[in-house]
Amino acid sequence: MTVILLNLIAFALLLAMLVKLHKQQKSLSTRVFTGLGMGVAFGAALQALYGADGAITRETINYINIVGSGYVSLLKMIIMPLITVSIIGAILKVKDSGSLGKISSLNIGILLATTAASALIGVFVSSLFGLSAQDIVQGAREMARGAALEQRLGSVEDLSLADMIISFFPQNPFADLAGSRPTSTIAVVIFSALVGIAGVALSRTQPELGERFERFMDVAQELVRTLVRMIIGLTPYGVLALMTKVVAGSNVSEILELANFVAASYVGLGAILVMHLILIGLVGMSPIQYLKKVLPVLTFAFTSRSSAATIPLNIDSQMKNLGNDPASANFSASFGATMGQNGCAGLYPAMLAVMIAPTIGISPLDPGFIATLVAIVTVSSFGIAGVGGGATFAALIVLSALDMPVALAGLLISIEPLIDMGRTAINVSGSMTAGTLTSRLTGGQDKSVFDHHEVVKQDTANA
């Protein structure tokens, strides 16, 4: 017990160092990367001293995980309120139903198109690196994860496309706000959109009441965003705890065995980012200038591993740095956290399907298989709807739809945190690309803001 207490004192000192950086008014990104680095070093030290499966390591991590799991729980807590006020606020700002339909359909169309392209990139990189599930050795953790996935399969294997679409509609908005269903997040998006449309109609029929509602939503948005800034301010401490847990409990040999998959994943993620920049260039914007302006947001997404928690920075950066109109910014950030995620719902399930295909006698380069895979990936990208472990849920849907053994998805548990950081950043990049293209194509972008070379700091920079 004395050794564990000493370990926790050392962890507390690391937390104190992050508090000191905060008092020195260091930027949030600086503190987050400092926390990440300290977490990696401290986790490696714990593993070196006590072993990855040692009793002391496990007990120490149990206490450290109070900080990490507490941070993750707070991030989950703000998702529903944040999406609700963002969607309603965006609709109230548009007022014109014709513009609203054009903005929302463009955003959704771009998100789905880039997700389909991301699936194709997943097929290409998996084939390029020669990835196959046959080459991966199943350890105890992998087998346990595979068994858990097979049990979870029951919730999605009998779900038809029609059933999935029906599940998107809100039946009980209060239950959906509490996250009672896998598709609760997208149901909240629909409910919020309907409330926003009703608010616009109220402004037309009863202007005084409509004005009061708009003022109420302005207050609600600012209140929720203040809450979000408070929680995002805890990110350095959460990242320190989470990285300590990941590194201390990681099996280095297992990670090295899967290094080929990690490399292929990041090559694929890099290719998706290039695709986003090409799309930006096609509408007459400088890809380099664009990348410079969105990089702080992508950095936060990378370290926090939460697309939803990045929504306020996403919206703020689109409006202040890219010059996007408020409606396009709000819609793309909210939609991008609930559907069409290029990394989690596009690239990852496609790579798994290509790896598993040879084990059941399917050629992963067969045109018919590729066409079916891309179609299923695109449609099922609605279904993950911001659920915790969204990439795993997306993989479950895709693999079950293709009649593939879902247990093999558990083979990658050792490297899941390593690739999830990159996937989250690409998810956010996809949503910002959708918002920027939509704003540009609908004529809502303020070009002078984008052309201004200085990057406006985010509201959470010194949270």
Structure confidence at residue 460 as a pLDDT band (50, 70, 90)? very low
pLDDT one-digit tens code per residue, 12-39: 999 999 999 999 988 887 898 899 899 9
- Mean pLDDT score across all residues of the chain: 84
Nearest 5°: the CA angle 424, 430, 436 is 140
Which of 360-369, 401-410, 434-443, 445-454 bottoms out in mean pLDDT, i.e. has the lowest?
401-410
Residue 391 scores a pLDDT above 50: yes
**Non-local CB neighbours of 81 within 8 Å, separated by 6+ positions:** 177, 224, 227
pLDDT one-digit tens code per residue, 163-181: 767 877 888 888 888 877 7
Helices (H), 285-358: 287-304, 311-320, 326-336, 348-356
* Tokens (6 digits) for 392: 């795993």
Average pLDDT value for residue range 201-221: 93
pLDDT one-digit tens code per residue, 40-78: 999 999 999 998 888 999 999 999 999 998 988 888 788
Query: Letter for the amino acid at 177?
Result: L
Structure confidence at residue 96 as a pLDDT band (50, 70, 90)? low
What pLDDT score was predicted for residue 16? 96
Please check whether residue 462 is in contact with residue 229, taking contact to mean a CB–CB distance below 8 angstroms: no
pLDDT one-digit tens code per residue, 351-372: 999 988 888 888 889 999 999 9
Please check whether residue 425 is in contact with residue 29, taking contact to mean a CB–CB distance below 8 angstroms: no
Kindly list the structural domains of the chain, giving each domain's residue range(s) and its CATH number in brackets, ordered by start: 2-451 (1.10.3860.10)
Structure confidence at residue 146 as a pLDDT band (50, 70, 90)? very low
Please check whether residue 94 is in contact with residue 100, taking contact to mean a CB–CB distance below 8 angstroms: yes
Average pLDDT value for residue range 429-441: 96
Structure confidence at residue 131 as a pLDDT band (50, 70, 90)? confident
Burial 14-26 (b: 16+ CB within 10 A, else e): bbebbeebbeeeb
**Non-local CB neighbours of 447 within 8 Å, separated by 6+ positions:** 323
Average pLDDT value for residue range 115-119: 96
**Non-local CB neighbours of 88 within 8 Å, separated by 6+ positions:** 192, 195, 196, 199, 217
Nearest 5°: the CA angle 140, 144, 149 is 150
Please check whether residue 424 is in contact with residue 341, taking contact to mean a CB–CB distance below 8 angstroms: no
